[in-house]
Amino acid sequence: MQEQKLHKITEEELIARLQSGDAKAMSVLYDMYSATLFGVVMQIVKVEETAEDVLQEAFVKIWNSFQSYDAGKGRLFTWMINICRNLAIDKIRSKQHRVSLQTRDIPASPRADMGSDNFKPEHIGLREITEKLNPEQKQIIDLMYFEGMTQTEIADEYQIPLGTVKTRARSAIKTLVKLFKGRE
C-alpha cells in the first residue's frame, strides 16, 4: 500500500524525498521515467546494450548528484534528460565505443557453410590468395576458415586479445575482397 502511494506523489514531493536520500523514491523515479529516458538514449547510441549501460550510469549519476538539482533552473525531467543525453553523447564519442562497434563479431555468411563438405576453399584459390596476407592476418584466417576455430577460441589459445583477433580478421577479409576483385 505504501509503494502505491509513492507512485501518486507530486513531483515536488518526489524531489523532496530524493533530496533526503529516500531510496524508495528513487525506485518510483525510475519507474516513472526510465522508459522515456531509455528512448532518448537509444536515439543517440543506437545499440540496445549500450543504451542500457548508459541509462544505468545515468540513474547512478542522478542519485549521486541529486543534491545539486535546482528546481528553480528547470524541471526534474529536463534535468534528467540532459544527464542522459550528455552521457550518451560522451559514450558515442569515446574510443571504447568506436572500437566496440568495429570489433563486433563478423556475421557468418548464409551463402557459404564453411563446415560443409560442399565448400572447398582450394576450388576458388583461397589458400594461394591468403599467402598474400601479412603473417598476423594469415594466421587468423587460416585458423578461422581452414581449422574451423572461432574468434574466441583463437584469442584463448594464442593469448591474443579478442578485439585484436576481430580486428585482424576484419582487416584480412577487406584485403581478401580487394585481392578477389583484382582476379576478376
Distance CA 84, CA 63 (A): 13
Query: In order of start, what are the domains of the chain with their CATH numbers?
Result: 2-101 (1.10.1740.10), 121-183 (1.10.10.10)
Question: What per-residue confidence (pLDDT) applies to 98?
Answer: 64
Question: Is 0.95 surpassed by the pTM of this model?
Answer: no
Do residues 80 and 60 touch, judged by C-beta distance below 8 A?
A: no
How many other β-carbons are positioned within 10 Å of the β-carbon of residue 41? Answer: 26
Residue 3 makes CB contacts below 8 A (sequence gap 6+) with: 24
Residue for grid cell 523532496: 16
Between 102 and 81, residue with greater pLDDT = 81
Q: What is the mean pLDDT of residues 114-143?
A: 68
Checking if the pLDDT of 104 tops 70, the result is: no
pLDDT at 102 over 70: no
Q: Is 161 helix (H, G, I), strand (E, B) or coil?
A: coil
pLDDT of residue 107: 54
More confident residue, 75 or 184: 75
Could you list the beta-strand ranges (E) of the chain.
none
Give the mean pLDDT of the chain. 81
Averaged pLDDT, 89-105: 72
- Cα distances from 136 to residues 95, 104, 121, in angstroms, run 24, 19, 20
Confidence of residue 97 (pLDDT cuts 50, 70, 90): low
Task: Compute the average pLDDT of residues 155-184.
Answer: 83
- Strand ranges in 14-152 using DSSP code E only, listed in sequence order: none
Q: Would you state the pLDDT for residue 53?
A: 94
Three cell numbers written together for 134: 601479412
pLDDT at residue 120 tops 70: no
What distance in Å separates the CA atoms of residue 49 and residue 42, rounded to the nearest whole number? 9
At 115 the pLDDT is 46
pLDDT tens sequence across 133-152: 888 888 888 888 777 778 88
Q: What is the mean pLDDT of residues 22-27?
A: 93
